[in-house]
Chain A
Amino acid sequence: MNNASRPSLDHFAVSEKDLRLVLSAALEKGGDYADLFFEHTFNHSISLRDGEVNSTFSGIDYGVGVRVLAGDQTGYAYVESTTLDDMLNAARTAARIASSSLTTKLPPFAWKTPATNRYPVIHAWEEVSIGQRIPFVQRVNDTIFALDKRVSKAMVSLSDSVTHVFFINTDGVMYGDYRPMVSLTATCIMEENGVFENGRAARSFRSGFECLSEQLVQDIAKEAVEETAIMFRAEKPKGGEMAVVLGAGGSGIFLHEAIGHAFEADFNRKGVSIFSDKLNQQVASPFVNVVDDGTILYNRGAVNMDDEGTEGQKTYLVREGILTSYLHDRISAKHYNSLPTGNGRRESFRSAPLPRMRATYMENGQSTESELIASVKKGVFVTSFTNGEVQIGAGDFTFFVKSGYLIEQGKLTSPIRDINIIGNGPKALADIVMVADNYSMDNGTWTCGKDGQSCPVTCGMPSALIQKLTVGGLH
């Protein structure tokens, strides 16, 4: 499927006349805005265990969510059918958020089309059989076993999905989107002298079948094996406060947790973020530029349109060290008298949109990675991560380091493993003292959780030196 066959009203068997009736019902209690988010998703996955691709899953999810806004208040309901009666029932439920005599006349509807399709598809997943998918999964497994004799087990899975979206709101905006996604994931288990270690590698893109390649197979297999092998030599370091050099790429989880969530405007609108009063203030050194970007081609966090009718865009959060913008959805943008930034995203039609990150990264600085490492007498260099978390109000964030290295007297020495790093967002941002010139995007299967909703995101950065964070370890 390509742009020319993007879903329209026909895909969901609804007419413009019906939609007017539903939107009118949504506003019948005096709401000042309403939107309908139609979604039809097809998921597939195949899994390899013990050398063979021997299980599969497929799923279909279909429905429409009705949102009504009355000022900052939200009414939301969804149904898993698109019959007029069911949609009207949902609309009348959501409408109850309002109680005013306000009447809104619906304008004419007009299609909105983004200038660029950020995830054009050549070979659609609907046209790809399981038989065509299997060899890629099998080759990842076979390559993992070929790379190291210590490999005892491997698990590989390939997941793909396509989502048809149709959106319409009481401003008269309509759009359709066709959202592909693919994730290829490998877990490797090795045994050495009776000790088992594990490692994982994954890549994920908004793309069709054409993104699977021999190079991708090799990259994932090699990374899974290397991530596992290093664990046999790695040890937990002595813990405490120390300098941390974040390696290029996946260290972007630091940005996501330390500042990204705290910049989401709903937390600031409610006054509960530690960054609530910091707009237009210097929060980092002038060489620090942080971006949240929905425009990167094929990126897991790319959005042609967000889930409430705003075009995907590139948003500077921090420019030359100054906090320049929060991440807005429609509600927060109105609250701040600002334009939406295209961050209104939702997990599915079952949820109302919230300000959510897309691809969050730091732009290049002017140092080199070796200069960063050489400047540290005692610290850690971290390269591989699993998960992170943040407390929005206190500003304390964490991220879990699967592996990295000690830095002693400006040199990388012993490998380290399994430590949590914790810091405070504003302090850590101000403590970035050097940024390297080796920006890299991590295209792993990053998934962000907020208010019970999961959203696909990515993160990236060049290597950067943070003067002081608290590193977990032994004493």
Chain B
Amino acid sequence: MLSIEQKELAQWAMEHALNQGCQEARVLLYQGSDTEFEVRNDQLDRLQQSTERQLAFHVFVDGKYGAFSTNRLVKDELALFINEAVEAVKYLAPDTDRKLPSPELYFSGKATSLQLFDDTYNQIGPDQKLDLAKETAAEIFGTDKRLLSVQSNWNDGCSTHYLIASNGFEGEQAVSYYSLSANVSVKGKGEAKPEAYWYDQALTYNDLIKKNIGKEALRRALDKIGQQKAPSGKYALLVDNLNSARLLSPLLSAISGSSLQQNNSFLLNKIDQQIVSEKVVLVDDPHVPAAFGSRWFDNEGIATKHRPIFDNGVLKTYFLDTYFASKMGMPQTISGPSRLVLMPGTRTCEQMMGGVERGVLVTGFNGGNCNSSSGDFSFGIEGFLLEHGHIVRPIAEMNITGNMLTLWSSLQEIGNDPRRNNAFQIPSLLFNEVNLSGS
């Protein structure tokens, strides 16, 4: 948590910028700390600890705009930095769309706690953290002759953001987080050394799953032994809940103001149009207590709210902050998603698999990209070949290729299994058909 003195420094920085000739300013003070223990096989391999602070400020000078940041928070140095920043902005061309948000859009309620910070955070000692990392590795170390290496990681941290703006915004949010993970390498067929990971993360210590992380990572690695390409062709595509959000990302990029304003989006001029399967009901749900991604306000101070993104496949929202809304002459929404929820279906990934005659279950992506203008994509994948509802064998070294709009229009079913403790609640997804390039 930030002290009164630290907040006063942010307020002083804003006042100083205004005194130097800025008409408007916004200041963000960030403070964070982080601890990590990494265990390899049966011994500690790395420990790392850090604490950091940063002051970032946005200045608006005679219709001109600049953003600045520094971790040198001594007043004299800060004053000099701000003075130079204000002078630098004066060289730019004016951009009348650069401005602070209208104050009525700011979050101004008396917020109840979103329970994002663990009150017991400072009570968890380093020995306890290291023991958990060691126990995770010990779950599997020495248990299987095929195991080449296990690396387990404990990570925790906390951060506080304090945001103020010269037209009347002040807000603060503190978050804590914990994660426990395992990475496993095993001896495969021939020279291959398949690797896999598993993890859990939580906002509070008590909510973190601390058992079977290592075992699950080992199971996933062993399942990969014998990976081979499948023949090229068209296949049903089932993507597990660890990887399904990857296929949503290009759609989110395409509805961001930055892409839209530059005509660099395959979802330009698509608001209120049905563009994906009517099964897609996607909402931004930012006020769920004790949930990753929840927040009362965005990076401009704009109040977040429950917001439909896709409603039965119809696009309802562009992510437009003050600048891009003004530039595009459209209503302002929010700078980006907070906590996305794709309305789940009723069946598990395994149950959906049972209905696949010929398909692939994707359990990992390997590179690839999506063209932001066209939505054309091509991704490397690994996973399992499916026939008659069953896993036939592990597969790898293949690509799926297509177009995002075609893919999402072919969505057949959404699972009921979003991973807990993720800001994006995206279950397993089953698509009718995709181009698979293999042998």
Interface residues of A (CB under 8 A from B): 46, 49-50, 52-63, 72-80, 93-94, 96-97, 129-131, 134, 152-153, 155, 187, 189, 191, 196-198, 231, 236, 239-241, 257, 270-274, 276, 350, 352, 386-400, 417-424, 426, 470-475
Residue of B nearest to A97 (CB): B47
> Which residue of A231, A392, A395, A422 contacts B367 across the interface (Cβ within 8 Å)?
A422
Provide the bound-state CA to CA distance between A453 and B374, in Å.
Answer: 31
> Which residue of A53, A80, A241, A274 contacts B193 across the interface (Cβ within 8 Å)?
A274
Provide the bound-state CA to CA distance between A187 and B401, in Å.
Answer: 24
Shortest beta-carbon distance, B98 to chain A, in Å?
7
Provide the bound-state CA to CA distance between A78 and B78, in Å.
Answer: 21
Provide the bound-state CA to CA distance between A421 and B367, in Å.
Answer: 9
Q: Is the CB of A391 within 8 A of B366?
A: yes
Shortest beta-carbon distance, B324 to chain A, in Å?
10
Q: Is the CB of A53 within 8 A of B92?
A: yes
> Which residue of B92, B327, B397 contacts A422 across the interface (Cβ within 8 Å)?
B397
Within 8 Å of chain A (Cβ to Cβ): is B386? no
Q: Is the CB of B81 within 8 A of A422?
A: no
CB neighbours of B88 from chain A (8 A) = 56, 58, 130
Q: Could you write out 13 A-B pairs with CB less than 8 Å apart?
A: A53-B92, A60-B72, A76-B47, A130-B91, A240-B232, A272-B149, A276-B193, A400-B368, A400-B369, A420-B378, A422-B380, A422-B399, A473-B435
> Which residue of B91, B95, B396, B437 contacts A396 across the interface (Cβ within 8 Å)?
B396
CB neighbours of B399 from chain A (8 A) = 239, 398, 419-422, 470-473
Provide the bound-state CA to CA distance between A439 and B191, in Å.
Answer: 31
Within 8 Å of chain A (Cβ to Cβ): is B376? yes
Having A52-B93, A57-B67, A394-B193, one finds 10 other A-B pairs with CB under 8 Å, namely A49-B261, A55-B65, A134-B91, A198-B373, A257-B367, A271-B148, A394-B192, A419-B378, A422-B398, A473-B399
Interface residues of B (CB under 8 A from A): 40, 43-53, 64-72, 81, 84-85, 88-89, 91-95, 98, 126, 148-149, 151, 185, 188, 191-195, 224, 227, 229, 232-234, 261-264, 268, 327, 366-369, 371-374, 376-380, 382, 396-402, 435-439
CB neighbours of A417 from chain B (8 A) = 371, 376
Q: Is the CB of A393 within 8 A of B268?
A: no
Residue of A nearest to B193 (CB): A393
Q: Is the CB of A240 within 8 A of B367?
A: no
Shortest beta-carbon distance, A374 to chain B, in Å?
25
Provide the bound-state CA to CA distance between A78 and B249, in Å.
Answer: 34
Given contacts A55-B66, A400-B368, A418-B378, contact A423 B373 (CB under 8 A): no
CB neighbours of A130 from chain B (8 A) = 88, 91-92
Shortest beta-carbon distance, B83 to chain A, in Å?
12
Provide the bound-state CA to CA distance between A397 and B43, in Å.
Answer: 30
CB neighbours of B264 from chain A (8 A) = 153, 187, 189, 196, 198
Q: Is the CB of A56 within 8 A of B66?
A: yes
> Which residue of A55, A153, A475 contacts B437 across the interface (Cβ within 8 Å)?
A475
> Which residue of A155, A418, A470 contacts B229 across the interface (Cβ within 8 Å)?
A470
Provide the bound-state CA to CA distance between A417 and B437, in Å.
Answer: 15
Q: Is the CB of B367 within 8 A of A400?
A: yes
Q: Is the CB of B378 within 8 A of A394?
A: no
CB neighbours of B45 from chain A (8 A) = 72-74
Q: Is the CB of A387 within 8 A of B369?
A: yes
Given contacts A56-B92, A274-B191, contact A80 B52 (CB under 8 A): yes
Provide the bound-state CA to CA distance between A80 and B126, in Å.
Answer: 22
Shortest beta-carbon distance, A269 to chain B, in Å?
10
Provide the bound-state CA to CA distance between A54 and B326, in Å.
Answer: 15
Provide the bound-state CA to CA distance between A352 and B46, in Å.
Answer: 10
Shortest beta-carbon distance, A45 to chain B, in Å?
9
Q: Is the CB of A197 within 8 A of B374?
A: yes
Residue of A nearest to B262 (CB): A153
> Which residue of B193, B366, B369, B397 contacts A273 across the interface (Cβ within 8 Å)?
B193
Residue of A nearest to B91 (CB): A130
CB neighbours of B380 from chain A (8 A) = 389, 396, 398, 420, 422
> Which residue of A72, A420, A423, A424 contacts B369 across the interface (Cβ within 8 Å)?
A420
Given contacts A60-B81, A270-B40, contact A472 B378 (CB under 8 A): yes
Q: Is the CB of A57 within 8 A of B68?
A: yes
Residue of A nearest to B364 (CB): A391
Provide the bound-state CA to CA distance between A397 and B399, in Å.
Answer: 11
Q: Is the CB of B47 within 8 A of A391?
A: no
Residue of A nearest to B400 (CB): A472
Provide the bound-state CA to CA distance between A471 and B438, in Å.
Answer: 8
Q: Is the CB of A239 within 8 A of B193?
A: no
Of B85, B193, B327, B377, chain A has the most CB atoms within 10 Å of the CB of: B193
Q: Is the CB of B377 within 8 A of A418?
A: yes
Provide the bound-state CA to CA distance between A392 and B234, in Å.
Answer: 28
CB neighbours of B268 from chain A (8 A) = 196
CB neighbours of A59 from chain B (8 A) = 68-70
CB neighbours of A475 from chain B (8 A) = 232-234, 435-437
Q: Is the CB of A96 within 8 A of B369?
A: no
Provide the bound-state CA to CA distance between A236 and B406, in Å.
Answer: 15
Provide the bound-state CA to CA distance between A63 and B53, in Å.
Answer: 11
Q: Is the CB of A76 within 8 A of B191?
A: no
